[in-house]
Amino acid sequence: MAKYATGKQTAAGNSPVEVVDAAGDLLDITDVGSITVNSYGTYDGTNFVPVRLDGSTHATNTIDYAHHEVHDGSSFTAEHNAAGGSATKATISFTTPAGTKYFHIVIEARTNVAAVYTLGEGATVTAESGTNYLARNKRRVATMNVSTVLPAGSVPATAGNVTVGGTVTDFGTVLETFQVGSGKVGDNARGVDEWILAPSTVYAIEMESQAATSEVRVSIHWYEHTDKN
């Protein structure tokens, strides 16, 4: 027996369906006595969840997965700001943990003068340089999850912290680097800017000014997710 959805929404908020037999003929209610059919939009791991529509327009209500991770309490952010003369650096470095819970990250960097932006993988950061910065959970209600990220350089190496202002002696594999004028780097669509980071790896992100009276900033935004299959 197959199920086919019709196009009209009922007042109760459930999508009606037609039930047909193997030959494709619509079943008559008198053939089965009575029948109740519910339609569902998704499965949350425990229960099937009904499709929900906007009450005014009947548009389907959805959010993208990165937005869902904010609601789920698994989305985090960290930043570093620096001001000074030429060669002033805003730097964030960190170590991803081992395992299969991957970091999906987007990066934003800003400067008010000419600057060089660099993202390095497998970087080397001077021991005991920089300071710990506790990653902020973007869901600021109830008991908040702590990120599994580890600092790179700063001590103690407490989970949930990144290193800000650490001294990067080698960027390792440079994933991207370029010079910018005043303005920002990143903050485009996640599909364009997102990186999925390797586990057990040191990453360094830096914006270095090339002019006096500079203000530079780096911020990172990520969620931590284990692939379903």
- pLDDT for 11 equals 47
Does residue 9 have a pLDDT over 50? no
pLDDT, one tens digit per residue, over 103-153 is 999 999 999 999 999 999 999 999 999 999 999 999 998 788 999 999 999
Mean pLDDT, to the nearest integer, of 165-184? 92
Neighbours of 111 (CB within 10 A): 26
**For tokens 């008010």, what's the residue?**
112
Mean pLDDT, to the nearest integer, of 198-202? 97
Instruction: Report the distance separating Cα 174 and Cα 195, nearest Å.
Output: 13
Q: How confident is the model at residue 5 (pLDDT cuts 50, 70, 90)?
A: very low
- pLDDT for 191 equals 75
Exposed e or buried b for every residue in 15-45, given b needs 16+ CB within 10 A? beeeeeeeeeeeeeeeeeeeeeeeeeeeeee
Q: How confident is the model at residue 56 (pLDDT cuts 50, 70, 90)?
A: confident
Does residue 28 have a pLDDT over 70? no
Instruction: Report the distance separating Cα 179 and Cα 17, nearest Å.
Output: 57
Does residue 16 have a pLDDT over 90? no
Contact 109, 177 (CB under 8 A): no
pLDDT, one tens digit per residue, over 67-98 is 888 888 889 999 999 999 999 999 999 999 99
Instruction: Report the distance separating Cα 158 and Cα 95, nearest Å.
Output: 11
DSSP 165-220: S--EEE-SEEEEEEEE-SEEEE-S-HHHH-EEPPSS-EEEEEEEE-SSSEEEEEEE
